Amino acid sequence: MPTAIIIGAGIAGLAAALRLRAAGMDVEVFEANDYPGGKLHAFHLGGYRFDAGPSLFTMPELVTELFGLFGEKAEEHFQFYQKKSVCNYFWEDGTHFNVSADEEEFVQEASLKFGVGEEPLRQYLRSSQKKYDLTAPLFLEKSLHKASTYLSTDALKAILQMPGLDIGTNLNAVNERKLGEPHLVQLFNRYATYNGSSPYRTPGIMSMIPHLELHLGTYFPKGGMHSITMSLYRLAERQGVRFHFYQNVRSILVKNGRAVGVQTADGEHFADWVVSNMDIFSTYKKLLPNERHPERTLKQERSSSAVIFYWGIRREFPELDLHNILFSDDYPMEFAHIFDQKTLFNDPTVYINITSKEEPDDAPPGCENWFVMINAPGDFGQNWEALVAQARQDIIRKVNRLLDVDLQPLIEVEDVLTPPLIQQRTSSYRGSLYGAASNSKFAAFLRHPNFSSNIKNLYCCGGSVHPGGGIPLCLLSAKITADLISKKA
């Protein structure tokens, strides 16, 4: 039986392990932490439960199809439902807008709220869908680094439509041209942060991202986001995948230009195939120090990171929902601080996720569990203690202004996650959430492929390689990687 070793039990590592197991391989997973999931983890603090990392769930079919590989019914192990409301938005001028998950309802309500015509909004959403439909089969579902990808009908269609995909301009310019109204421009500019980029730099093709929310829908997994991790981990265990926790991989074993296994504290472990779900920068620098490195790829600008406060709040806020955004009053300056000055802005955009809105047991009665996140630069040695202390004050002041509340006395428990801690816990270089940033029209092509060009039988999956970060793309990276290996096995 062919054998495979997966380095890292993040969401992509779990999915890759499952797909390779379904292909008939004997699979072992080595994880440095004592839990699966990587960033998609959870913890308890006082009487509150918090999802530690990703909080947005789209494209649930990428999870459920993994159960189908083994003839299992996903609904018996993993339940979720679609949200009727996508997100609540708040602006400093007092504007509040709740985005409906129904496209037509969104168009009608946005038209009334912001004084714009319905047809430009419909055209924008149709353009978003067109970009997604044209590029997903090429950019998201296949390797960009195999010649066969460009010989397909899908590739030809995308190439012929290139002039209309807004690759040569930035997302903000597209949104200003097509929408114009400042609140709507900022609302749709925010989607650049879904891959850790700036709307003033990332190419306009990223205007396809709203299609994931407004057309394909947003969902909530029962039990919180951590249930995605645990359902896949339990599936893998049932199917015979073997997990080794607290097993830090020290190096990838390479002999005669071929990956043959890994070295851990307890010795050498051999396999026919090695898949790294570790950040690609750390994979080369830590696990392959003596091999030739793709320096151009590793020097790419990293995506944004985050500062996250986990607050147990002794009150309920009926005006808030699962997803909430309190916008900065100077969006260009916020991104200039993050990407140019490598610091935090004093008026940050604040994202508040409250899973107790959907799972009341996540907080004590009459209370809420707030996951409060602001975008942040990577770790370049800044004084994070001082930055976090100032950010806490800025966030509380903003919440007080926009929600008309005195928040500080309501914070019952608190924890905080910073870029250095993200790097420490997940080996993500500089604490990047999405690997390389997409602040260039060439970024997709410069991402590391799902395989090594120099080392045979070494493959890569996860948010730092093709096609990118976030739960759906990580799951797609596992699919691409497993398909590439299956064709070689």
| Residue 377 Cα to chain centre, angstroms | 16
Q: pLDDT value at position 119? A: 96
Structural domain boundaries enclosing 366: 42-56+72-101+217-221+304-433
Residue 480 lies in a domain: yes
Residue 67 lies in a domain: no
Same structural domain, 315 and 422: yes
Distances (CA, A) of 471 to 139, 304, 399: 16, 16, 28
Residue 177 lies in a domain: yes
430, two tokens: 């500089």
Of 196, 214, 232, the domain-final residue: 214
Is the pLDDT assigned to residue 143 strictly greater than 70?
no
Q: pLDDT value at position 152? A: 55
Q: Are 209 and 215 in contact (CB under 8 A)?
A: no
If you average pLDDT over residues 93-114, what whole number do you get?
Answer: 96
CATH at residue 428: 3.90.660
Residue 156 lies in a domain: yes
pLDDT digits (tens, 9 = 90+) for 396-445: 999 999 999 999 999 999 999 999 999 999 999 999 999 888 877 666 55
Same structural domain, 420 and 452: no
If you average pLDDT over residues 3-32, what whole number do you get?
Answer: 98
Q: CA nearest 278: which of 64, 487, 474, 21?
A: 474
Same structural domain, 386 and 312: yes
Q: Which residues contact 133 (CB under 8 A, 6 or more apart)?
A: none
Is the pLDDT assigned to residue 228 strictly greater than 90?
yes
Same structural domain, 451 and 349: no
Same structural domain, 341 and 445: no
Q: Are 289 and 276 in contact (CB under 8 A)?
A: no
Q: Are 241 and 27 in contact (CB under 8 A)?
A: yes
Residue 21 lies in a domain: yes
Residue 228 lies in a domain: no
Of 214, 239, 262, the domain-final residue: 214
Same structural domain, 314 and 422: yes
Same structural domain, 317 and 419: yes
Map tokens 């994880």 to a residue. 31
Same structural domain, 366 and 279: no
Residue 276 lies in a domain: yes
pLDDT digits (tens, 9 = 90+) for 325-342: 999 999 999 999 999 999
Q: Which residues contact 130 (CB under 8 A, 6 or more apart)?
A: 161, 164
pLDDT digits (tens, 9 = 90+) for 145-198: 554 544 455 555 555 555 567 778 999 999 999 999 999 999 999 999 998 999
148, two tokens: 């066969």
Same structural domain, 447 and 429: no
Same structural domain, 280 and 320: no
The pTM assigned to this predicted structure is: 0.94
CB atoms within 10 A of CB 102: 15
User: CA-CA distance, 438 to 171, in Å (whole number)?
Assistant: 11
Looking at the structure of the chain, the number of domains it has is 3
Is the pLDDT assigned to residue 81 strictly greater than 60?
yes
Identify which has the larger pLDDT, 370 or 296: 370
Same structural domain, 425 and 308: yes
Q: Which residues contact 196 (CB under 8 A, 6 or more apart)?
A: 302, 303, 304, 305, 375, 432, 433, 434, 437, 438, 469
Residue 413 lies in a domain: yes
Q: CA nearest 131: which of 100, 157, 99, 101?
A: 157
In the chain, what percentage of residues exceed pLDDT 70? 93
pLDDT digits (tens, 9 = 90+) for 147-159: 454 445 555 555 5
Chain-wide mean pLDDT for the chain?
Answer: 92
pLDDT band at 273 (very low <50, low <70, confident <90, very high): very high
Identify which has the larger pLDDT, 131 or 288: 288
CATH at residue 444: 3.50.50.60
Same structural domain, 11 and 50: no
Of 214, 238, 271, the domain-final residue: 214
